[in-house]
Amino acid sequence: MAFDTTSGYAPGEELDPSLPMFNIERVSLQFAVSSDFVAAEVANNVLILALSTGRILRIDLDQPADIDDIDLPKKPSEIGIIKRLFLDPSASHLIITTTLAENYYLHTQSRTPKALSRLKGVAIESIAWNPAQPTASTREILVGASDGNVYEVYIEPSSEFYRREEKYLRGVYKTNDGPVTGLWTDVIPGRADLRRVIVATPSTFLHFAGKVGRHGHEGSGSIFSKLFDTESATVHEVGNVAPSARSLLAVSPESQDTPTLEHSNSERVFGWLTSQGVLHGKLYVSQDTTELGGKILAESKMLSRSAIPPSQTASGRTRKSQDAVSSMILSQWHIIQLVEGRVVAINRLDDTVVLDQTVLEPGQTALGLVADIKKNTFWLFTTREIFEIVITDESRDIWKILLKNQQFEAASQFAKTSAQKDAVATASGDYLVAKGQFLEAAAVYGRSTKPFEQVALTFIDNGEQDALRKYLVTKISTLKKSSIMQRVMVATWLIEIYMAKLNILDDTITTKAELSESMNTAETQDQLSVIRKEYQDFVSKYKTDLDRKTVYEIISSHGREEELLYFATVINDYNYVLSYWVQRERWQESLDVLKKQTDPEIFYKYSSVLMAHAPVEFVEILMRQTNLDCQKLIPAFLNYNNMTKAKLSQNQAIRYLLFEINQHQSTDAAVHNTLISLYASNDTTDESALLSYLEAQSYAHEQNYDADFALRLCIQHKRVQSCVHIYSSMGQYVQAVDLALKYDEVDLASKVADRSETDPALRKKLWLAIAKKVISQSSGIKTAIEFLRRVDLLRIEDLIPFFPDFVVIDDFKEEICAALEEYSRKIDELKKEMDESEETATHIKADIKALEQRYAIVEPGERCYVCGLPLLARQFFVFPCQHAFHSDCLAKKVVELAGIAKGKRIAELQTEVSKGASLGPKREKAIRELDALVGSACVLCSEMAVRLIDEPFVSASDDREEWAL
């Protein structure tokens, strides 16, 4: 067998708005059956067809080629023909009831229906499935019977033959109005213990809501008994019920494309078919269940039978009597009814008929309409055919209906195109203006394309400045970025409006007047804060749409200082902010702005004025910057130094310059020269700070300052110690001593003279200059003599020329005598040294004379200490140590040990001696020199032997066996 549906569109496919909303299509059946359909159900894309022969066809519409063919356990002659099928929304559980009230259960994983023995004899008319689907069991479900009883049953499939499928069955409610034609239950969101139950009969609609019972484990007992026992129903009744009138309860499918924003359309809808029409309304949800049923029924509407167009007779005349409605289902927005072979779809919002199409042939029997509430598909079944009611873009015109009903918020949710949204916004705005709700209208108008000038004039004519402000704020948010001129104009106008509003509020607070009966001064203050915050948010968001100069002029004309500065700060115009505060001599505010800056040019520009009025704080800020050029701050430092009377330790210019030198290791001559200038020009007579700086430069072997400039400045300000230090560092000791003596700084001059130890002549010259100064200043000769005793370079005869002519010798007789005694003592020491030298010379002469007669005894068998051959065989040398060597062996050994230069000279002399036999004196001279070089010392025990300390006793050429132990 095979099954093929021809329904229209795949999910997500873009729909053509020109297509009809409803289209009824015949489903092609590619299989043959020998009997008629007697019942049908669709859920979760699974189709169940019951045949009059007792067979059940289970078809998966996603794979229609695979069809399960299932037979009931007994023949229809025994149990009756299948009357109704009840398929849960997940298509997991199927309950089958027959005309003889025999009931069977079939699980989706099974092919064998099981008899429900507890429900035997119960003519099932409706079932309310448990909301928790799908599960392995049905869990707690409600079953409505034709006798008015409502049962709670728990069905759990079992593989055991003798075990019943129903875990329990219990009657929980009974109506007195005929069969229970409809049941529905759902869970109240947020409360698992709250349930809603709807019970429908041909004449009564009952709404229950409340708590259900709880048990230790599922299936252990009834949970709905508590609800029906403790809660009273909200009831709606209809009269004059025709006995043959069809009655049923339908609920709209699960919404798939309803907007998720908060409005009533997000709830599902119920429809109760009665003899008078269809009662329909929203299934509101609320955790407060006391008024829930009343609210639902109060807001529900009855779609009268008269709303259904009458059918035409074969002759084309309209029938006078009402056609019977045999079936009814709900889509998201429409009520679909089967009326005498016609399918009629009516919009439940405005009762308009959107579909009236004859589907069945005369005499053709229909089983009814069925909706798949999971997959949002709709079906019509006859005894031989299947039709699918394809709905295309069902909500396309909903916005129009909602707009017509002045449900503007809901209409805007369903408006899809920009034109639709604009139409809703314009109509909504006009409606709100007509009601005097200008603020609400402003937000709506801002999203519409209604002419800007019309909207603006509407608010201006009515004096609604707040609404105008809100409209402009909304409008600028919708303008494109490319609409530069429009955005600038709107943004600038808003600045003007904000300033006017802030001024009005300020005036109200100042005069302590009330704006209205409901607003006092405190409330005005709160509103002022709100408007100011709104202004700040606006300029922060739309700063690129504001012309700087124009905004400055507008805000300044209103005298709004805080707003002016906030705008300047937002656009990073810190020059303006600083200039503003500086002009008003608000130094702390200026510094607060400066703390946030990193642009060096701003620091340079305002350095002079801030150094003059807030030096300490300004320098603190400067010291936190890392990208400043100190040279550009020097004019400000010099100006500050001219104005300040602060001590050196409190001078902020000096503080920063020292920071730049010590922390940033600045070697810039301008920085160092400026520091010297500030030190030198200070009023204090204390030179310690300047001198410390100069000495630190000397200790670091640096001179980053201009010495000529520093010297000239120090001389100008009579900084003697500093001048002397600079002269000394330049090596100009004479000038240093002269300058110190010029200012009577004898001790300072003495220190300089002591430094020149490398040149005794210069040192003596300096001390003579000091001596001259000391003698000229001394009140007595003795004082001068005492001072000069500290110097070991000067003698009394050096000082005599400096004494005045009238000084008599008696004044320094003692000094002269002491000097003469010192000279006499030194003469005696020299005479003694001469005598010792003469005695030493005599001893040397005696030793030389003794050497001429010295001899050594050579034994006949004595050998050369180098070659080992008899010593007397040829010319030899004998040393006082009794070591003897052949002259050629000794010469060879000396050449090895004496080094390259001496060895080369010995070789040259040997050549001269061997070649110059007839040269006479020249040869004799060469021989004496050669003997002197070779025989100067013994090679075995002299200094040359000491050099051989690292040589091994046994060389590679020696016979090692001779040294063996």
Within 10 A of 396 (CB to CB), how many other CB atoms are there?
16
pLDDT at res. 89: 93
Question: Is residue 265 over pLDDT 50?
Answer: no
pLDDT digits (tens, 9 = 90+) for 512-541: 655 444 456 777 788 888 888 998 999 999
Q: At what angle do helices 760-777 and 746-755 cross, to 10 degrees?
A: 170
DSSP 8-state class, residue 195: E
**Residues 6 or more apart whose Cβ sits within 8 Å of residue 248:** 126, 181, 182, 200, 272, 273, 327, 328
Asked whether the predicted pLDDT for residue 433 surpasses 60, the reply is yes
pLDDT in the model for residue 46: 93
The pLDDT mean for the chain works out to: 82
Mean pLDDT of 445-474: 86
Residue 601: which pLDDT band, with cuts at 50, 70 and 90? Answer: confident
**719-769 pLDDT, tens per residue?**
877 787 777 777 777 777 777 777 767 767 767 666 655 576 666 666 666
Per residue in 651-692, pLDDT tens? 888 888 888 888 888 888 888 888 888 888 887 777 888 888
Is 139:145 a contact under the CB 8 Å cutoff?
A: no
The pLDDT of residue 200 is 95
Distance, in Å, from the CA atom of 530 to the CA atom of 535, rounded to the nearest integer, reads 9
In this predicted structure, the answer to whether residue 932 has a pLDDT above a threshold of 60 is yes
Model confidence at 6: pLDDT above 70: no
The C-alpha atoms of residue 422 and residue 441 are separated, in whole angstroms, by 13
Q: What angle do CA 927, 929, 931 make, to 5 degrees?
A: 65
Q: What is the pLDDT of residues 487-515, one digit of tens each?
A: 999 999 999 998 998 888 888 887 765 54
How far apart, in Å, are the Cα atoms of 450 and each of 70, 456, 885?
65, 10, 134
Give me the mean pLDDT over the 280-291 stretch: 89
What is the per-residue pLDDT for 550? 93
Q: Which two tokens stand for residue 422?
A: 């604009």
- The helix (H) or strand (E) run that includes residue 497 is helix 484-511
Least confident of 75-89, 156-170, 634-648: 156-170
Nearest to 637 by CA among 651, 647, 648: 651
- In percent, the amount of the chain with pLDDT more than 90 equals 24
Instruction: Dump pLDDT digits (tens) for 42-71.
Output: 999 999 999 999 899 999 888 877 888 899
pLDDT at residue 950 greater than cutoff 80: no
Position 645 scores a pLDDT of: 79
Mean pLDDT of 121-126: 94
Mean pLDDT of 269-297: 91
- Give strand pairing partners of 154: 140, 168
Q: Where is average pLDDT lowest: 15-29, 567-581, 611-625?
A: 15-29
The reported pLDDT for the residue numbered 651 is: 85
**pLDDT value at residue 814:** 64
Residue 183: phi, psi to the nearest 5? -140, 145
pLDDT confidence bin for 713, thresholds 50/70/90: confident
* Each residue's pLDDT tens digit, 387-411: 999 988 888 888 888 877 777 777 7
Is pLDDT above 90 for 252?
Answer: yes
Taking the model in full, what pTM does it have?
0.58
pLDDT recorded at residue 463: 87
| C-alpha–C-alpha distance, residues 687 and 668, integer Å | 23
**Tokens standing for 931?**
């003997």
End-to-end CA distance of the chain, in Å? 121
**Separation CA 891–CA 909 (nearest Å):** 11
